[in-house]
Amino acid sequence: MVPRKIDLGEALAAVGALLLVVGLFLEWFDGASAWEAFESLDLVLLLGALTVLAAVAGAFDWLGARTLAPLGLTLLLVVVVQLVEPPPAVGEGELGTGAWLGLAGAALVLLGGALRIASISVTVNVGGKDARRRVDAVDRRERAERPPDPPIGRAEGRSTDPAGAVRFGAETDEPTQAFTPVDDPPA
């Protein structure tokens, strides 16, 4: 089976989006989830996370993976602003697990977008060992019983490049052919 190329940035962005969605349902501020604490930003965060997942899955042609970095930056800014300035309904309470998961998820989406722009990827072999037959004309793998190739530039102990041998200080007993210029074609 052919190794499958998995983009590390897209994988991180997808994990971050899933963390953000899970975090929306957990406690953000003293007993209040994001659905209870935020008026409309909970929907913005959910829509952003779903958009990231759609971009990673390639669901829309117009929504490429290069949109991950701007989406990640937007999600991270929304989460950070809400953590620094909590909604008036919750006051100045302690931050809950959902807030930290949301922050980590948004940061992972941004990191994944940055890695995607940098084109960093990981190759994962998702199949077993290749069970194809070896065909000498096609297979480029070395066989153990094949004799080693002669050294480059040597055939049966003699130099095949006398000019190169002289150039590097070695002597050669092979005759060389004189250079003959090509006549210019008549104009």
pLDDT tens per residue across all 187 residues of the chain: 555 667 788 889 999 999 999 999 999 888 888 888 888 889 999 999 999 999 888 777 777 767 889 999 999 999 999 999 888 877 777 888 999 999 999 999 999 999 888 877 776 655 555 556 656 555 555 555 666 666 665 555 555 555 555 555 555 566 666 666 777 766 6
Name the token pair of 91: 């006051």
The CA dihedral of 80, 85, 91, 92, to the nearest 10 degrees, is: 80
Q: What CA–CA distance (Å, rounded) separates 72 from 76?
A: 6
Non-local CB neighbours of 71 within 8 Å, separated by 6+ positions: 48, 51, 52, 55, 109, 113
Closest CA to 160 of 176, 148, 181, 145: 176
Name the token pair of 17: 């989006």
pLDDT, residue 30, reads 84
Q: 20, 105 in Cβ contact below 8 A?
A: yes
Q: β-strands 27-29, 32-33: how paired? A: antiparallel
Q: 65, 10 in Cβ contact below 8 A?
A: yes
pLDDT, residue 144, reads 55
pLDDT, residue 91, reads 75
pLDDT, residue 104, reads 97
Closest CA to 69 of 134, 2, 115, 31: 115
E strands, 16-152, where?
27-29, 32-33, 121-124
DSSP category for residue 85: S
